[in-house]
Amino acid sequence: MDNVFVDRLKKEKLLTLEICGGEIAKKLYHRKDMLFALVSLLLFTGLALFAPMITPYDPNTIDLKNKNLNPSGEHLLGTDYLGRDLLSRILIGARTSLSITFGVVLISLFIGIIFGCVAGYYGGIVDESLSRIIDIFLAFPGIIFALAIMGVLGSGVFNMILALSITQWPKYARMMRGQVLSLKKQEFVLSAVTSGANDFHILYKHIIPNSIAPLLVLATLDLGHVILSISTLSFLGIGLPADIPEWGAMLSAGKEFMRTAPYQTIFPGLAVTFFVVIFSIIGDGMRDLLDPNHEGGEVY
Amino acid sequence: MKYLLKRVGFVVITLFAVCALTFFLMNIIPGGTAEMILKYTFVGLENSVSQEQINQISGRYNLDDPLYIQFFRWIKEAVVTGDIGTSYVFKKPVLYLLALRLPATIQLAGVSMVIAIIIGVSLGIYSALKENKISDHILRIVTLFGVSMPGFWIALILILIFSLKMKLVPVSGYGSLENLILPSVALSLHSVAAIMRVTRASMLETMGQEYIRFAKAKGLSIWKIVTRHAFKNAMLPVVTVIGFQMGSLLGGTVVIEKIFAWPGIGSLLVDSISARDLPVVQGCILAIVTMFLFVIFFVDMLYTCLDPRIRYG
C-alpha cells in the first residue's frame, strides 16, 4: 500500500517536473529578449569573474604620461585622469558591483522572508508591531536612508552591503507577509496544523516553497535597483574606498574632464544601464514563467 | 472623516518613529559625538584629541546621559521651541539652514513632478492607443532605458550635450528659468518612464472593458471615449505610482542637486555627510521624509476621492 502510494507520488512529481521544465524551456524560447538577456548576463558575469586574468592592464596602475586618452587600439575605451585603462577598470568594476548587489539582495531576501513569515504566520500583536516597523523603514524615500547609514558608518564594502540591506529588506518582508496571510487559510496548511506539525516545519516545508516565486521575481528586478543605488552612493563619494574600481566613482572622477575626455563619463554609465536593463528583462521574464497569474505587460 | 483621522495619526506616529530612528542612528557610536565635534569643528585638533577635552564637550552638551534621555530632551526642544539642533560646522540652528534650502528643493521636485505627470500620462495614453504599432514599440524601448539609466548619468549626458557641446543652457546655477531646465529634465526622466509604463498598462486594461466596447459601438469618437470613459477609471494605479515616484524624485534630488550645484536640501545633505555634520544630516533626512509623508498622505486622500469604495469599505 505504502509503496504504491509513494510510487504514484514519485511518478506524479516527475511528471509535473517534466512538464514544468518543458514548458519553461518552450516559453523561454519564445521570449527572445529574455534569452538574449540571460546569455549576455552569463557572458558578462563570466567576464567579471575572470576579469583579473583577462584585463589588458592593471586597473590601478597609474600612468600619468597617458592620461585622459581617447579610445584607441591600445586602450580600447581610453584612459582616465591618472592614465588608468578604462576598459580594465570597467571590467573590474563589474566584479565590485555584481558581488555587492548579489550580497545585498540575498541578505535582504533572507531577512525579509524571516520577518515576513513571523509577522504573517503568528499574526496579532507580533504582526502589528512588525508591520509598523516595516512601514517606518518604507517611509524613507529612495536611497536617503542608505545615505544616512553610510554617513554615520563611513565608506567601505561591508558598510555598503549593510546599509543597502537595511533599506531593502522591508519590501521583501511586506510581500512575504502578504503571501503567508493568503496561504495560511488554505487547506494544505490547515491539515498540516491539525496533523500536529510544528511551526518551523509548516513554514519551511509548506509556506515558503509556495510563496517564494513572486519574491524571486521581486529580487531579480531589485538587482538592477541595487546596482543603481551602489553607483549613486559611490558617485556621491560616500560609497567605496578609492582603490576599488566602481562605476559610480569612475563617473564622478570623469565628470571633471567632461569637456576634453567625455568617454570617461559615457562608458561607465553605459555599463550600469546595460546591467539594469538586463536584470529588468530577466525579472520580467521570470514573472511570466513563475507567476502566471500576474497580469501586466512585458518590461519593454 | 474617521479614515482621515486614521491617516493623520499614521503620519504623526511614523514621523515620530522616523525621528527616533534617525536620532539613534546618528548617535550610535558611543562617545563618538563629542569626539566628532572636537575633530571636525576645531581646526588643528584632528589627531590630538585628549580625553579631558572629550569630557568637557560631553558635559557641555549633556552627552553622557543615556541615549533615550537625550532623545526625549531633543524631542521636547523640537516640539516646544522648534529647535532641532545646531550645526557643528555653520554654528547656526539646523531649522534655519533647512528653511534657507527648502524652497529650492520644492521648486526642483515640484517642477519635475509636473513634467513627469504631464508627459508620462499623455505618452502612456498615446502608447496604449497605438498598441503594438511601431511608435508603441519605440516608446516602450525608450522607457525601458529611461527607468534603467542612473539619474546622475542622464544629468551628465544632458550637460555634455546641451551645455558643453551646444551651449544652450548654463552648466549649473540657481535663480533663472534656464537654470531649472536641465536639472528638472534629468530628475523627471525616470519618473516619466515609470508613470508612462503604468498608465499604458492601466489604459490597456480599461480599454478592454465592456463599457468601452459599448461606447465604441455607440459610435463615440476615440477622444471622447478616452477623456470621458477610460481615463478616470484608469487613473487609480497611476495615482499610486505617482505617489511612489514622488519618493524616488525626492531621493533623486540629492544627487541631481549635487551635480548642478542647486542650493537645496539634497546638496546640503551630501555636504553635511562629507563634513560629518550630524545634526544637519539628521535635519535634512527629517525634512525629506516629512515631505514624502505629506505627499503620500495627499495621494491617499486623492485616492479616496477617486475611488469611493475605499471610503466606505
Average pLDDT of chain B is 84
A296 vs B205: CA distance, rounded Å:
9
Task: Give residue B55's Cα distance to chain centre.
Answer: 39
B157 and A266 within 8 Å at the Cβ level: the answer is yes
DSSP 3-state assignment of A71?
A: coil
DSSP 3-state assignment of A1?
A: coil
Chain A interface test: which of B7, B39, B144, B203 (most A C-beta within 10 Å): B144
B205 vs B97: CA distance, rounded Å:
48
| Chain B nearest CA to A203, separation (Å) | 30
A147 and B269 within 8 Å at the Cβ level: the answer is yes
- Kindly tell me if the per-residue pLDDT of A184 is higher than 60: yes
**Is A256:A103 a contact under the CB 8 Å cutoff?**
no
| Chain A nearest CA to B180, separation (Å) | 20
**Is A83:A65 a contact under the CB 8 Å cutoff?**
yes
- The DSSP code for A257 is G
pTM for this prediction: 0.85
Residues of B in contact with A296 (CB under 8 A): 201
* B42-74 residue pLDDT tens: 655 556 667 777 777 776 666 667 778 878 888
Closest partner residue to B25 (CB to CB) among A136, A152, A276 is A152
Torsion sign, CA atoms B213, B214, B216, B220 = negative
pLDDT of A114 reads: 94
In the block, cell 561607465 appears at: A268
| Chain A nearest CA to B48, separation (Å) | 21
- A15-19, A258-262, A287-291, B112-116: which has the minimum mean pLDDT? A15-19
pLDDT of A20 reads: 52
Task: Give residue B4's Cα distance to chain centre.
Answer: 23
| Chain A nearest CA to B38, separation (Å) | 16
Q: Nearest-CA neighbor of A262 among B258, B159, B173, B179?
A: B159
CA angle in degrees (0–180, nearest 5) for B174-B179-B185: 120
B250 and A141 within 8 Å at the Cβ level: the answer is yes
B145 vs B156: CA distance, rounded Å:
16
User: What is the predicted ipTM?
Assistant: 0.85
Closest partner residue to A259 (CB to CB) among B143, B164, B278 is B164
pLDDT of B300 reads: 83
A295 vs B17: CA distance, rounded Å:
36
Q: What is the identity of the amino acid at A107? A: I
Q: Nearest-CA neighbor of B150 among A165, A246, A69, A35?
A: A246
Residues of B in contact with A132 (CB under 8 A): 13, 17
| Chain A nearest CA to B272, separation (Å) | 9
**Is A139:B14 a contact under the CB 8 Å cutoff?**
yes
Residues of A in contact with B143 (CB under 8 A): 300
- Who wins on pLDDT, A279 or B70? A279
* A131-151 residue pLDDT tens: 988 988 888 887 888 988 888
A147 and B273 within 8 Å at the Cβ level: the answer is yes
Residues of A in contact with B141 (CB under 8 A): 300
Nearest-CA residue of chain B relative to A227? B150
pLDDT of A292 reads: 61
Closest partner residue to B164 (CB to CB) among A258, A297, A299 is A258
Instruction: Kindly state the average pLDDT of the residues B250-254.
Output: 89
Q: What is the identity of the amino acid at A292? A: P
- The DSSP code for B307 is -
B190 vs B195: CA distance, rounded Å:
9
pLDDT of A295 reads: 47
- Kindly tell me if the per-residue pLDDT of B230 is higher than 90: no
Torsion (CA) A162, A164, A165, A167 in degrees, nearest 10: 120
| B86 strand-pairing partners | B93
pLDDT of A17 reads: 46
Closest partner residue to A136 (CB to CB) among B14, B269, B274 is B14
* B116-127 residue pLDDT tens: 999 999 999 999
Q: How confident is the model at residue A23 (pLDDT cuts 50, 70, 90)?
A: low
Nearest-CA residue of chain B relative to A262? B160
A294: contact with B, CB 8 A cutoff: no
| Chain A nearest CA to B164, separation (Å) | 7
Closest partner residue to A269 (CB to CB) among B22, B150, B251 is B150
Say which residues have a Cβ less than 8 Å from residue A136's Cβ, sequence separation at least 6. B14, B17, B18, B21
H-assigned helices in A141-261: 144-153, 157-184, 187-194, 199-201, 208-235, 247-254
Instruction: Kindly state the average pLDDT of the residues B257-264.
Output: 90
* A63-102 residue pLDDT tens: 777 777 777 777 777 777 777 888 888 888 888 899 999 9
Chain A interface test: which of B132, B255, B259, B289 (most A C-beta within 10 Å): B255
Strand ranges for chain A from DSSP E: none
Nearest-CA residue of chain B relative to A299? B144
Nearest-CA residue of chain A relative to B137? A300
Q: How confident is the model at residue A211 (pLDDT cuts 50, 70, 90)?
A: confident
A269 and B149 within 8 Å at the Cβ level: the answer is yes
**Is B147:B120 a contact under the CB 8 Å cutoff?**
no
CB neighbourhood size of B117 (10 A): 20
| B93 strand-pairing partners | B86
The cell for A151 is 554617513
Burial class from Cβ neighbours inside 10 Å (0-12, 13-18, 19+) for residue A146 reads buried
**Is A290:A217 a contact under the CB 8 Å cutoff?**
yes
Q: What is the identity of the amino acid at B45? A: L
Say which residues have a Cβ less than 8 Å from residue A141's Cβ, sequence separation at least 6. B246, B247, B248, B250, B251, B288, B289, B292
* B137-155 residue pLDDT tens: 899 888 888 888 888 899 9
CB neighbourhood size of A113 (10 A): 23
A256: contact with B, CB 8 A cutoff: no
Torsion (CA) B219, B221, B222, B227 in degrees, nearest 10: -120
Chain A interface test: which of B36, B112, B140, B153 (most A C-beta within 10 Å): B153
B164 and A276 within 8 Å at the Cβ level: the answer is no
- Kindly tell me if the per-residue pLDDT of A113 is higher than 90: yes
| A85 strand-pairing partners | A79
Say which residues have a Cβ less than 8 Å from residue B82's Cβ, sequence separation at least 6. B95
pLDDT of A297 reads: 45
Residues of A in contact with B241 (CB under 8 A): none
Q: A205-217 burial string, b = 16+ CB within 10 Å, else e?
A: ebbbeebbbbbeb
Q: How confident is the model at residue A15 (pLDDT cuts 50, 70, 90)?
A: very low
Nearest-CA residue of chain A relative to B141? A300
- Who wins on pLDDT, B18 or B307? B18
A residues 183..222 contacting B (CB < 8 A)? none
Closest partner residue to A258 (CB to CB) among B159, B247, B254 is B159
In total, the C-beta contacts within 8 angstroms joining chain A to chain B are 137
Residues of A in contact with B140 (CB under 8 A): 300
pLDDT of B39 reads: 66
A138: contact with B, CB 8 A cutoff: no
B292 vs B306: CA distance, rounded Å:
21
| B201 strand-pairing partners | none
CB neighbourhood size of B15 (10 A): 17
The cell for A120 is 504573517
